[in-house]
Structure 1
C-alpha cells in the first residue's frame, strides 16, 4: 500500500499578493464575493483534493493594506459554510483562535457545520499572533500561556462534542422518545481559563472533526503531537520538513498515539508557467515593489540585529548574531531565519530574496508543472511530507495550472486520489490507495 498525498487548497488569495492584484486579469474586484471562492472550490473538488482551507487573522495591518491585502478578509467559518452548499465531497477547514474565542460557542458552531455538510468540517487551531487590542488586552499573552489556553480550550471543545453523542438520538415516534438522556452528560469543567458545565445543546455528527495545528516551537510541537491529525509547517527546504516530521512522530509515539496518524503538510508556494523563464518573470513581477525596509525589519526582529547600515554585499554570519535576543512575534519564523544565517552565510542582499524572508518560509517552486511534479515526488520519496497546502502565486493562470494540470499529473503517478473514496474530511485523511 502507498499512502497518497493529502493536499489542501488555500483559499487565501496568495495569487493576488504583492503586485499580482494589479494585473488586468486578477479579478481583484471579485475578492469578497462568494463566486470568487466557488470558482476555486469547484476546481479543487474536481481535482479530488482533501480540503479547502481559509486562514484568518483578527486584526488589520493598515500600513500593508495601502499596497496589498493587509490581512483583510472574510470570516472563514461563514465562507466555508457557504461553500458547503456548492460542494459535495471536499473537506472544509476553518480557522479559529483559542486565545480570543469561546469553547462552547465554537464547539456548537463547528458541530452545526458538520451536520450541514455531512461530516466535511475541520478545525485549524491557532493561538493567534496579534489582535489583542480588539479583545480588551494591552499585550499578547506569552507563548506558553497561549498554548496552555489552547490545550484547555481544545479539551473543553472535545469534551462538549462527546457530551451529546449522536447515539443518543433515538427519534422513536411510536414510543415518543426523541433521545436517550442517559447518554447525554455535563462536562463540569473547572480549569485555569474556563468554567464550562455542558452538555452541548447540539448533538455530534457521526463523523469526527479533524484537528489541524501549526507551530514548530517545542511547545507547539508538543501540543500538535498530542491532538493534531495534521500539522501545517513552514518548511523552506527538505531537511526542515524531514526533521519536523520525524520529531512530531517521535513525540506522538511517546504520548501513546500511532505516529502514522499525524500528517505533516507544509505550505507550498507555486509560481508556475509554461517555461522556467516565464515563471521567474512572474515571481519577479509579483515582488518588484516589496518594501525592502519591511523585509529588513523582519530580519532584525528575528535575529535581534541592527541592519540599517549593513552593506548589501556583506555576509551575515553566526558570529554576528546577538547572544541574547528578546521576544519575537513568531518563534517559528525567527528560528528558520537564524538557521538559514548559520548554515549559508548569505549576504544581506541574498537573504532579502529568500523564502524565509519574503514567502512566510514556505517551500517554494518557481518553474513549470513538470518542475513542481518532480520536486513534490522527491520530497515525498524522501519522507519529508505527507502532503502540502497549495498556495499558488502571481496570477490566476498559476491557480489553473496547479489545479488542472499539476494535480492530475500527481494522480496519474499514484500520489493523489483519482476519485473520492469517502465523503467526509476525516475519511480523506485516513484513506490509502493501492
Structure 2
C-alpha cells in the first residue's frame, strides 16, 4: 500500500461470531441467524460504516463440523441471499461465492449479471474450485487440483466472454426510429474448449457500470497462479505476518508475469478478531470459540489438513521436518498443508502449538485477540510490512465483538486516514478503484 491508499475492508456474513459455545449463551440471539432480516440488519450497519463489500462463503456438502454441537443452519445459496440484501442496501458491494467445478458457466454468467442488475452494479464473484462435494454432483471422486484449476481458468474465460457478448451499448431505445436494440452488437461467443462448448450470447445485457469484479482464494502454487492471472482481489490465507508478506510479494510478481499491473490486485486476508473491553475478556471469547474442539478433533483435523498423524506424541514434543508426510500425498487443502509445512520446517513447534494453529482449529485466517488498540496495531503492522491491501472482517466470539469493530475500530482507522469516511462511488468497481 502507498500512503495515500485506503484499506479495502469487507465483512463476512457467515456468522463466525457464533462459533464454539458462544451460541449457547442465553443472549446470543442464535435463533435470529436463520432469518434474512438478521443479516440485512448487519448489512445496513456495514454500509453505514462505509465498508467496501459484504462476503459470504458457500458449501455444497454437509461436513461433520456443520452438525451436532456447531451452530449452523446450513448453507443457503449466497447469490439468492445477496439478491435479498441488494434491495435493502444502496452502496455496499455484494460478493457471492460460486464454484467452477460443479456449475455450468452459462448459468453462472446469467446469475451474476442478474445480481449485478438487481444491485445496480454492486455484484462481485468469489471464484472457488471447491475441495469437497463431488458426491452430490455425480462427479466422484473429486478432480485433482490441476484439473479443477484448469477447468476454472476456462470457466472464467467463458463467463467473461458471455458478459461481453451482450454489451449494454446494444440497448438503443430509439423511439423515433423504432429501434430498441442493435442486434449486430449482440454476438455468439462460439466457445469450444477442453471442458466447455458454449455458443452464447447471454440472455441479458451487461450493466452500464462495467464488468463484475473477480475475487479468488488460493495460496497453493497453482492457486496463486490462477489468482494472479484473473483476480481483482484475493482472499489470502496468512496466519502470520511473514507468510503474508511472502504471499503478497509473490502474487504481485506473478501478476507482472501475466502482463498485469501488480497494483490492480488487492490482497485481502481474513481477519478473525476477538474484541473485548479488556484483553482478558477477548481471550475468554477466543477460548470459548474453540472449546468444542477436543484434542481428538484437533488431531483428526490435522490429519485431514496435511496427513500428519501425531496422536501418539506427547503435547510438548517438538515436530521437525523429517516427521512430515510426503508433500505429494492427497490432502483436504493443499493451501493449508503448505502453510503448516512451512511453519513446522521453520520453527520446529511442539505438538500443542501445531494443534492450536489456525489451519487446524480454523481456516488459516489471521487471528487477532484483544482490545481495539491490540487489533489496530496488528493491522498497522501488516500494512507497514506490505502484507495486506485490506482485510475481510470475520467477527469472533460474540455480537459485542462485532459492535466494537464497527463503533470503535473502524472510526480509528478513519481517524488515521487508513479508511474512508464516506463512499466516493456507488459500485463495487468504484470501491475497489477499478
Secondary structure at the counterpart of residue 273 of structure 2: strand
Partner of 2:60 in structure 1? 58
Q: TM-score, normalised by structure 1?
A: 0.97
In structure 2, which of residues 32, 37, 41 is the aligned counterpart of residue 30 of structure 1? 32
- Mapped to 1, the partners of 2:39 and 2:72 lie a distance apart of 19
Superposition map of 1:295-314 within 5 A = 295-314=298-317
TM-score for both structures, normalised by structure 2: 0.97
Residue range with higher mean Cα deviation, 63-72 or 233-242: 63-72
Q: Do 2:302 and 2:309's aligned partners in 1 also have CA atoms closer than 8 Å? A: no
Q: 2:375 aligns with which of 372, 391, 394?
A: 372
Contact 1:236 1:355 in 2 (8 A): yes
The Cα offsets for residues 218-266 of structure 1, whole Å up to 9 and x where unpaired, read as 1111111111000001101111111111111111111111110011000
| Contact 1:215-1:232 at 8 Å conserved across structures | yes
Q: Which stretches in structure 1 are left out of the alignment for 5+ residues? A: none
Aligned ranges for residues 253-332 of structure 1 at < 5 Å? 253-323=256-326, 325-332=328-335
User: Cα offset for 1:350?
Assistant: 2.2
1:358 equivalent among 351, 357, 361:
361
Aligned positions of 1:146-185 closer than 5 A: 146-185=148-187
Deviation at 1:325, TM superposition (A): 4.9
CA distance in 2, matches of 1:63, 1:353: 17
Out of 206, 209, 222, the position equivalent to 2:208 is 206
Give, in whole Å, the separation in 1 of the partners of 2:357 and 2:65: 23
Structure 1 residue 355, shift from structure 2 partner:
1.9
Q: Which residue of 2 aligns with 1:386?
A: 389
Cα distance between partner residues in 1 of 2:174 and 2:236: 47
Q: Is the 8 A contact 2:306 2:332 kept in 1?
A: no
- Counterpart for residue 143 of structure 1: 145
Report the Cα distance in structure 1 between the residues aligned to 2:66 and 2:199, rounded to whole angstroms.
Answer: 43
Paired residue for 1:7, among 5, 9, 33? 9
Residue correspondences, number: 431
User: 199, 223, 227: which one pairs with 1:224?
Assistant: 227
1:215 is aligned to 2:218:
yes
Deviation at 1:64, TM superposition (A): 4.2
Q: Which runs of 5+ in 2 are unaligned?
A: none
CA distance in structure 2 between the aligned counterparts of 1:385 and 1:122, rounded to whole angstroms: 20
Deviations 1:374-411 (A, max 9, x none): 11112111111000000011100011111221111111
Q: Is the 8 A contact 2:22 2:398 kept in 1?
A: yes
